[in-house]
Amino acid sequence: MTGIQRCVATAAVAVALIGTPTVAHALSQGGTAPVGVESVAWKAPSPRIVSPGEHVEVSGGAEFWLTEEGKHWTTPENPDPQFRSVVDGNIDRSRPGVSLQTEGVGSHYLLSGVYYGGKGTASRVVVRTTAGVVHGELLELPGEPGWGVWYATVDLPDGDTDGLGVSRVVVRDTEGKVYSRLNLG
């Protein structure tokens, strides 16, 4: 075997032993994968970008829409539009933060809020509740508004009369770092 052949053979064995994540890392660094090896690169989710006033229907029939002024929503139980402003001075968008609104919608709870002021791109929201950990969705207007809306629904077991408790809401960025957080106890 020539020196080059030995080097190629050693590299092939190393790739086989170390695994595909290394190949995915090499690809992300501008390298190429050996023939027959597929990359498994993970891409962090991003918020759904919506046009101002575009209605987004969520589980249970609730709807959200965003305007430059803030978050709007309705539920089947409360069809009159509700509103949470991002421009009235109630939130300091220069510092990371996240709000929480909860309301019963049929046999589940609708959890939602506004997130703002974090660094990077918001990617995902995780809510710790008395019913368990819930993963929500993110909405933002185009451009760089500096804020967005999160929402999630939680189905409650039949006969649950204690309501739902929320202890934490964490919005993370595309690198997994905390974008904003709300601790409730």
Facing residues of 134 across strands? 127
Per-residue pLDDT tens over the stretch 141-165: 999 999 999 999 998 766 665 778 8
Taking the C-alpha atoms of residue 126 and residue 78, their distance in angstroms, rounded to an integer, is 26
Please state, for a pLDDT cut of 70, what percent of the chain lies above it. Answer: 74
Taking the C-alpha atoms of residue 179 and residue 53, their distance in angstroms, rounded to an integer, is 25
Which residues are CB-neighbours of 104 under 8 A, at least 6 positions away? 77, 110
- Average model confidence (pLDDT) for the chain? 80
pTM given for the model: 0.75
Indicate whether 20 pLDDT > 50: no
Taking the C-alpha atoms of residue 50 and residue 109, their distance in angstroms, rounded to an integer, is 24
Per-residue pLDDT tens over the stretch 38-90: 445 556 788 999 999 999 999 889 999 999 999 999 999 999 999 999 999 99
Taking the C-alpha atoms of residue 15 and residue 58, their distance in angstroms, rounded to an integer, is 44
Chain centroid offset of residue 97 CA: 15
Is the distance from CB of 114 to CB of 40 less than 8 angstroms?
A: no
CA angle 144, 148, 153 (to 5 degrees): 155
